[in-house]
Amino acid sequence: MSELLTQLAQLAQFGSATRLYALTINSNGRDSSTDYGSSGLQVEAFAAVEGLHSIGARDIIVLSTNAHIPLKTLLGRSATLQISLSDGTRAAFTGLINEAALLGSEGGFARYRVRLVPWPWLLTQSRSSRVWQDKTVIDIIESIFREYSAHAAWQWSSEVAPFMTEARTRSYVAQYRESNFDFVSRLLSEEGLSFRIEESTTAPSGHQIVLFADTTQKSACPEDATSSHALGGHGIRFHAGTAREEQDSIQALSARRTLQAGAITLLSYDYKTKKAVTAHIPTHHAFGGKQAPLLESYDSPGPYAYANSAEALRYGQLHMQAHEARNKRWYARSTVRTLRPGTTFDLTQGPLNAAANAAPVPYTVLRVASIGINNLPKNVSEGIAELFGPIPQLLEECMASCTAAAPASAVACEDGFADGAESGFGFGFESDDNN
């Protein structure tokens, strides 16, 4: 045991500068005197699941030569996971620590786990019942965000304002026994809006949410950093992923189609004019083959849900666009370390490009499941495994969460874990083509 602890003590000789991953705890003006050990918190591994219009989480397993870090001093702090890229730079993923755990310790050496979440997670912890009158959806959402001013940062994409000119002021909106996050999420969905998370050096917690209406706009969904990088050529290649490659790549790509409602009918009642307000919206897509039935979604949201038929048509079209977007999804396995939900990329050298002799196909990333295992010295890694066991079941649990949410991506996620164990990083993601 003493020889093992001596080997583990070598961890103090290695800084994070030469490692694939590094974790920085940001003080944000708070007391930063907490002793994290002689070499700080060294990242051993991480697992993350993130998505559009959702919170997501990033679990990071760290090692320290201090086995007595007060866990409560970590909660609420902003922290940044830095990921080394193929060009020598680092990508940053910042969040708030909402959970910290001591996984094991021996002889002053310890393994911890911290969970990073974006600041909108705070909205999930507050439940309320209240009413807004004669307010726009944007006004209501911003009034809620301002309640979290110590951490909140947000930005409306440039296309939201003109898009929302067609939405009337809400005469009466009730939040009834809903969490603030569920309420905000519901309002955004009703108006055809969504949000993504991005890094921000000016935000109090190091990141902000961007609320948008149109994924085809660069201000709403910018191009992924790897796709836009000159290294390896524009776009992301469909190519083998090895350490010798100039650029990260996509190794597997599969499509999934699901049958959706091919028509939407809405019915409301205007008690002032004593007339029905209706709208019927058929899809312009072929959701299935010749034998597929034409399904209709019928909804009657109650009286005065729509001011007139034009407004009913607008909301019906938003519903239909949601069905059309879910009709076809792509699932992939890759080594692209910069991928984030709400970014776009061009796929090059793919089978679809070769078959059609066409230009690169653009995709929008909807969901990312990622695994990373740090390049710690071999004897240190072996010593940790002997002392605490191999990489904890936490990584498999994160993959199971991804599989439960998107069954068709199960193979991509499992292969991503295998890639992580072999090369230090592996990613499975879900996307939508921009056609």
- What string of pLDDT tens digits covers the 435 residues of the chain? 556 556 556 665 556 667 899 999 987 655 555 688 777 899 999 999 999 999 889 999 999 889 999 999 999 999 999 999 888 899 999 999 999 999 988 888 899 999 999 999 999 999 999 999 999 999 999 999 999 999 999 999 999 999 999 999 999 999 999 999 999 999 999 999 999 999 999 999 999 999 999 999 999 999 999 999 877 778 898 887 666 677 888 988 888 999 999 999 999 998 888 899 999 999 988 888 888 898 999 999 988 889 899 999 999 999 999 999 988 899 999 999 999 999 999 998 877 665 556 667 789 999 998 989 888 777 777 778 778 887 766 677 766 655 554 444 444 455 555 555 555 677 787 887 766
d(CA 345, CA 353): 14
Q: What are phi and psi of 185, to 5 degrees?
A: -60, -40
* Amino acid at residue number 382: E
The pLDDT value recorded for residue 409 is 42
Contact at 8 Å (CB) between 58 and 81?
Answer: yes
* Amino acid at residue number 109: F
Q: Which residue has the tokens 């961890």?
A: 11
The pLDDT value recorded for residue 408 is 42
**Residues 385-422 as b or e (16 or more Cβ within 10 Å = b):** eebbeebbebbeebbeebbeebeebbebbbbbbebbee
Q: Which residue has the tokens 């005197």?
A: 33
Contacts of 389 (CB under 8 A, 6+ apart): none
The pLDDT value recorded for residue 135 is 96
Sheet holding 194-199, edge to edge: 154-156, 207-212, 194-199
The pLDDT value recorded for residue 14 is 59
d(CA 96, CA 51): 17
The pLDDT value recorded for residue 391 is 77
The pLDDT value recorded for residue 282 is 94
The pLDDT value recorded for residue 424 is 62
Q: Which two three-digit tokens encode residue 133?
A: 């009158």
d(CA 206, CA 198): 9
- How buried is 352 (Cβ within 10 angstroms: 0-12 exposed, 13-18 middle, 19+ buried)? middle
The pLDDT value recorded for residue 68 is 92
- Count of residues making up the chain: 435
The pLDDT value recorded for residue 396 is 76
The pLDDT value recorded for residue 412 is 47
The pLDDT value recorded for residue 279 is 95
Q: What is the CA radius of gyration of the chain?
A: 24
The pLDDT value recorded for residue 405 is 44
The pLDDT value recorded for residue 415 is 52
Strands 296-303 and 263-270: parallel
Q: Which two three-digit tokens encode residue 339?
A: 């991928």
d(CA 373, CA 424): 5
Q: Which two three-digit tokens encode residue 387?
A: 């002392």
Q: What is the SS3 string spanning the chain? A: CHHHHHHHHHHHHCCCCCCCEEEEEECCCCCCCCCCCCCCCEEEEEEEEEECCCCCEEEEEEEECCCCCCHHHCCCCEEEEEEECCCCCEEEEEEEEEEEEEEEEECCEEEEEEEEECHHHHHHHCEEEEEECCECHHHHHHHHHHHHCCCCCEEECCCHHHHHHHCCCECCEEEEEEEHHHHHHHHHHHCCCEEEEEECCCCCCCEEEEEECCCCCCCCCCECHHHHCCCCCCCEEECCCCCCCCCCEEEEEEEEECCCCCEEEEEEEECCCCEEEEEEEECCCCCCCCCCCCCEEEEEEEECCCCCHHHHHHHHHHHHHHHHHHHEEEEEEECCCCCCCCCEEEEECCHHHHHHCCCCEEEEEEEEEEEEECCCCHHHHHHHHHHHCCCCCHHHHHHHHHHHHCHHHHHHHHHHHHHHHHHCEEEEEEEEECC
Residue of 128, 100, 126 whose CA lies nearest to 114: 100
